[in-house]
Amino acid sequence: MPKKTTAGKAETAGTAGKKATARKRNGATKKAAKAQPETTGAATAASGRLRVKQIRSGIGHAATYRRTLEALGLKYHQDEVVLRDHPAVRGMLRKVWNFVSVHSVEG
């Protein structure tokens, strides 16, 4: 028969004497991943401008994807914008990679 603890809960033989402690996660043991620049063919440009075209609709997808497309300035399917090549823009493009096509702007 399980014995009663001070809290009034039954204690099984396997857990007798063990304290329930929360595990600490040691972030120092993980190595930080270095951000690699996205070097996909024509998407890297010396001019620092990217032509982004929405090739798939955001309808029926998560709101975060739709908001990211809107933040990129894409309002509708087949819309096209020219953006500055910047790490923030690269991060947004990485999130919606399957909704857009990216090409460099010449000159």
Q: How far apart are CA 51 and CA 64, in angstroms?
A: 22
For range 93-103, the mean pLDDT: 97
pLDDT tens-digit map of 83-92: 999 999 999 9
pLDDT at residue 49 is higher than 60: yes
Beta bridge partners of 51: 82, 103
Q: How far lies 59's CA from each of 21, 62, 73, 79, 84, in Å?
A: 45, 8, 16, 14, 26
What's the Rg (C-alpha) of the chain?
Answer: 26
Number of H helices, E strands in the chain: 2, 5
Q: Which domains does the chain have, with CATH numbers?
A: 44-104 (3.30.1390.20)
> What is the pTM assigned to this prediction?
0.56
Residue 103 reports pLDDT greater than 50 = yes
